Amino acid sequence: MNFKIAVLSGDGIGPEVIQESVKVLKAIAESYKHEFQFNYASVGAIAIDETGNPLPDATLDVCKDATAVLFGAIGDPKYDNDPSAKVRPEQGLLKLRKELGLFANIRPVTAYNSLLDKSPLKKEIIQGTDMVIYRELTGGIYFGEKKLSEDGKTASDLCEYSQFEIERIAHLAFKAAQTRKNKVTLVDKANVLESSRLWRKVVSEVAKSYPKVTLDFLFVDNAAMQMILNPSQFDVILTENMFGDIISDEGSVIGGSIGLLASASVGDGVALFEPIHGSYPQAKGKNIANPIASILSAAMMLDHFGLSDEAEAVRQAVNKTIDKGIVTKDLNGEAFVTTTNIGDIIAGTILNREDTCEY
């Protein structure tokens, strides 16, 4: 089959991890006889340097014309400590999410048996973790009205949600739960926030259409604690934009490295696949970044294309590599391999010629 993939590598380690996912996708194309066309376009700080715009129109056109977008990472330290910067790399990603209508960000969190001792958390706690976070992605405080007073001494960000925005992601979360352990946990702050109370009301209503699925509620402060006290209690976590951003980084501690967590952002049209980690500027150009989050995001893209055998082949090759103890620096201080090694080994496993891979 033929697929057009927009490739937005972005900043920092983005290009390095994307190079490995593309390598893996090419291995899939070769073994399963597919045609993947990769169309590269710039986004983030690099796009600001080139054009002054973190999401140039040409990039948006490439994305809209694609079957899916493979996204690296964005962000550059030169903007982080400059609160007065008018144009920021992150605006590129936020605008892209909005323009493509990517209202649901799906972030699976699992514990790999062979990596149980890599997490700072106790083995007994993380063993058996298998949850997926459904994070709302185009609403809430990220996109509400922003104000800064004339004198620069008062600022506000509005957190707003409509029934429609809540319903559409709630349906996706319940549908996912039906294929998993039939449990949805809504994470909110309904004891304080009006918007959270609307979430509870709307999600409770949606739940009636899914009688087999149990719906639980957790306040976000408690959820943050439960995530690392007893993560295996969770199946599907449903939450608003900012809470989802925060608890998914927390979830990465369970797997041992944020460099393992993939995500899919879906909506009504073109979907986008990106690791949950950022641009990790300190590692840029050093060939030490973990490309697995990006490679697993590519596997989620294959699932989205309906290519489930191919997606499974990628996941199996990843598991095999990790199980052999072949990991990047984030997971093994001493005996680590490089970013490109990992991509070569996973692609080689897919092509069934892992023995020819040197590392």
Residues in the chain: 359
Euclidean distance between CA atoms 257 and 98, whole angstroms: 28
Indicate if 245 belongs to the active site: yes
93 binds, among ligand IPM, Mn ion, none (CB under 5 to 8 A by kind): ligand IPM
Which of 294, 280, 186, 278 has its CA nearest to residue 239?
186
Nearer Cβ to ligand IPM (144/278) = 278
| Nearest residue to Mn ion, scored by beta-carbon proximity | 245
Quick check: 177 and 213 in contact, CB under 8 A?
yes
Contacts of 334 (CB under 8 A, 6+ apart): none
Out of 31, 90, 130, 144, the only residue in the binding site for ligand IPM (CB under 6 A) is 90
Out of 5, 276, 292, 302, the only residue in the binding site for ligand IPM (CB under 6 A) is 276
Strands 271-275 and 262-266: antiparallel
Of 95, 189, 284, 320, catalytic = 189
Q: Is residue 93 a contact residue for ligand IPM (CB under 6 A)?
A: yes
| Nearest residue to ligand IPM, scored by beta-carbon proximity | 90
Euclidean distance between CA atoms 150 and 346, whole angstroms: 55
292 binds, among Mn ion, ligand IPM, none (CB under 5 to 8 A by kind): none
Nearer Cβ to ligand IPM (30/49) = 49
Nearer Cβ to ligand IPM (220/337) = 220
Indicate if 344 belongs to the active site: no
Closest contact distance (angstroms) between CB of 236 and ligand IPM is: 18
Out of 188, 245, 330, 344, the only residue in the binding site for Mn ion (CB under 5 A) is 245
159-163-164 Cα angle (round to 5): 105
| Helical ranges in 1-88 per DSSP H | 14-32, 45-51, 57-64, 77-80
Which residue numbers belong to the known binding site for substrate? Answer: 97, 107, 135, 221
Active site residues: 142, 189, 221, 245, 249
